[in-house]
A and B are shown apart, each in its own frame.
Chain A
């Protein structure tokens, strides 16, 4: 994902020019002859070229190490290790959804991890700007690995609640479960049947939905999980991941 040197130089010059002349980016782009020719030649491609220019111009630099140390529960060394890995895969400093899906899919070669990765992406992208920066990444990880059980459950609820309205409906849960089953792929034992995800959702709702109103609220969810030994134990599973 590294852009060639020329483009970096160009966009540095671009930024410089813009700043010198007090032009907004849009104005500058609109004046650009090249862009005009391109837009004339292929009018439908206007957005993608602009997007490409936008993304390539974005060079996100994370906050200072001290700040991140204060905001998350990772030690300095851990943050260093995390950042190195992050930067290796995403030199521009942000992950967009496609890269995210790609990376996640590498861990599940047998199935299709893209749907679950999409949900994960939305869960990590807390400010919903379409890209996950290192801060988002590390905040999410901090909750998952070093947070209290309450926080972790909160995060999980947030993941399941696709439209972030505070309720998990059966459809949302079905989507989530299906995406998890998708990751298994085709070659499973026993063979994956059509109704397996639905059954799974039913079991989940039976367990979680105390007042039988068809949705699971955050309180029901946290209550129920805290009463379930398995879940509580499994939450502690990844303590020593870093």
Chain B
């Protein structure tokens, strides 16, 4: 329940009078304000700055320090105020949370200081409201990354017992780890550069043979260039094999982009070795040499920026695609137009539409070589329109790509964002849990038999039947955690149940019940239902109230009430595992109920038995029995299956 709405609870309860004439069952007794005191102002002295608020305001969140009795530890008798030796600035936000129900994160605060204060006051950071949550998460992520970076710097000299393979891999990936790695890094870099330069210089004409034209250096110094090529390829092959050996997952390594580039860089050489210097295949051989230029991509291992560029292009695939598509469209249109415009003129270069493509591309990209120019007036007009539109079409998608690049460059890869998204999902899940806590809190309290009416009427039975073990403390514990607000809310829901003669159950039970009713053919009367009208309290007294115990508890309650009725015992294990921190969920009273729940992971057993035979629950779980006493209620249970105890695998 949200904070402010708690003030409307009296209204909701009053409105419940609308259900009264319609209800067929008597209503449960309202929880009494036993210790009702006038709402008073309490003073919170935080490091000298005094805050004042109503006591009720703080009681809205009983799972936090200020809302529970934990604040009594900080009560100062002489000054009659609560003293906290904490930061008063952060306390402002925390107190506002109680007042408005929204927790805000002030931007000027240090993230770790804020976290500490939240932890001290028992508030989970997930409930920071949406306006401030992004900021909070971003700052938190930055902080953890910085911490991790610091850690990693210290971590380098550790890990002495890495295998040789792992050391090698780390050396390859991160050249700063050791001197050897650095040397290797620079050597490979040098050879890549050497190989590229060799390829380039090969084609430069150097000198000339006396009888021939200029020959490229490659043909003049064939052996030298061949030796250099061989040396480079040797180095690259060795490097590739070493990386392959060291890779933790070879399959994945072989599929990675870098290894493909490596392979493509060295393959032409080997293919060239294999093939003979034959006239037919020499053409293909020459083509293969083109692939040697791919060696330059090996530099991307040495340069972060290059990698990000490649990554950007990959991630902007859709924008690039759009650019290409729109360009193609425009080219075709303008080429067609120019062709037909220039058809009339003689000696025009625009011989066909594909031939006009070249003109269109050159014009649209504002290159304007001038090898093809329109001569007719119509051609010139369309030519100018073409160049103007070219500017527009190209200018539009380019900024998108540019901004993408800058964004990626600054934000450091998508993997971190994916991590953040996972956290977002976890956050939503936690919020959902704490929000649904209000509905499950009611169910929990039902299961734990917290209905106050029980205490009033059933007390003698209840107390008698309890084994002397932990019952009294549990009782007090449970009483402590139910704030008045909660009990009133539960009473309201209880009244609704009585009005409609149906009960709230959680999802799993609902599905179980659904399956059950699907199996049942016909309803049957419940035998000898002695309904006790009279005091309204007895409608609840018919429930044999039992505590939820761990499965291996020795004591069970046998309910020797005089009523004979068919009842379905629902043995429920709470599906809400209590969240990690002790006061994590603000609305969920799961602390006690969570610890009381079955240790096994949420299994539900439905046992159908009839009282007064001692219930066969001594075997397994402990039952909590709601009962539909109303003869008008459509009974669900087939009496023939009376003594069947269905127990699902435990």
B293 within 8 Å of A (CB atoms): no
A86 within 8 Å of B (CB atoms): yes
8 Å CB contact of B14 from A109, A141, A184, A221: A141
Residues of B that sit less than 8 Å from A by CB: 1-2, 4-27, 29-30, 32-33, 38-39, 435-436, 438-439, 488-489, 492-493, 495-497, 499-500, 502-507, 509-510, 513-514, 517, 533, 536, 626, 628, 632-634, 636
Complex-state Cα separation, A189 to B7, whole angstroms: 30
A234 within 8 Å of B (CB atoms): yes
Contacts of B505 in A (CB 8 A): 187-189
8 Å CB contact of B4 from A89, A191, A203: A89
Binds B, one of A19-27, A45-53, A57-65, A173-181: A173-181
Looking at A116, A221, A238, the one whose CB has the most chain B CB atoms below 10 A away is A238
Contact (A189, B502) CB under 8 Å given A106-B1, A237-B30? yes
A218 within 8 Å of B (CB atoms): no
A153 within 8 Å of B (CB atoms): yes
Contact (A233, B536) CB under 8 Å given A137-B11, A156-B21? yes
Determine if B503 and A145 form an interchain contact, defined as CB atoms under 8 angstroms apart: no
Within 8 A of B (CB), among A126-175: 137, 140-141, 144-145, 152-153, 155-156, 159-160
Determine if B10 and A192 form an interchain contact, defined as CB atoms under 8 angstroms apart: no
Contacts of B20 in A (CB 8 A): 156, 231, 234-235, 237
Determine if A110 and B4 form an interchain contact, defined as CB atoms under 8 angstroms apart: no
Closest CB in chain A relative to B617 CB, distance in Å? 19
Contacts of B29 in A (CB 8 A): 237
Contacts of B12 in A (CB 8 A): 104, 107
8 Å CB contact of B7 from A85, A145, A177, A181: A85
Known: A176-B22, A180-B22, A187-B505. 19 other contacts (CB 8 A): A82-B10, A85-B4, A106-B2, A153-B21, A156-B18, A186-B510, A189-B509, A190-B502, A190-B513, A190-B633, A191-B510, A191-B513, A200-B500, A203-B632, A204-B21, A234-B20, A238-B17, A240-B30, A241-B10
Determine if B9 and A107 form an interchain contact, defined as CB atoms under 8 angstroms apart: yes
A-B contact pairs, 8 of them (CB 8 A): A107-B12, A141-B10, A156-B21, A187-B505, A190-B502, A191-B514, A200-B24, A234-B20
Q: What does DSSP make chain B's interface, helix, strand, loop or mixed?
A: helix
Contact (A241, B503) CB under 8 Å given A230-B23, A234-B20? no
Q: What does DSSP make chain A's interface, helix, strand, loop or mixed?
A: helix
Complex-state Cα separation, A237 to B14, whole angstroms: 9
A79 within 8 Å of B (CB atoms): no
8 Å CB contact of A144 from B17, B493, B499: B17
Interface membership of chain A positions 21-54, coded 1 if the CB is closer than 8 angstroms to chain B and 0 otherwise: 0000000000000000000000000000000000
Determine if B510 and A189 form an interchain contact, defined as CB atoms under 8 angstroms apart: yes
The size of the chain A interface, using a CB distance under 8 A, is 63
Contacts of B504 in A (CB 8 A): 110, 184-185, 187-189
A88 within 8 Å of B (CB atoms): yes
Closest CB in chain B relative to A108 CB, distance in Å? 7
Contacts of A152 in B (CB 8 A): 17
Determine if B30 and A187 form an interchain contact, defined as CB atoms under 8 angstroms apart: no
Determine if B21 and A241 form an interchain contact, defined as CB atoms under 8 angstroms apart: no
Complex-state Cα separation, A183 to B492, whole angstroms: 12
Contact (A177, B22) CB under 8 Å given A141-B10, A188-B504, A189-B502? yes
Determine if B27 and A234 form an interchain contact, defined as CB atoms under 8 angstroms apart: yes
Determine if A109 and B13 form an interchain contact, defined as CB atoms under 8 angstroms apart: no
Which 3 pairs across A and B sit closest by C-beta, in order of nearness?
A85-B7, A187-B510, A144-B14
Contacts of B634 in A (CB 8 A): 190, 193, 196
Contacts of B24 in A (CB 8 A): 200, 203
Complex-state Cα separation, A15 to B499, whole angstroms: 49
A76 within 8 Å of B (CB atoms): no
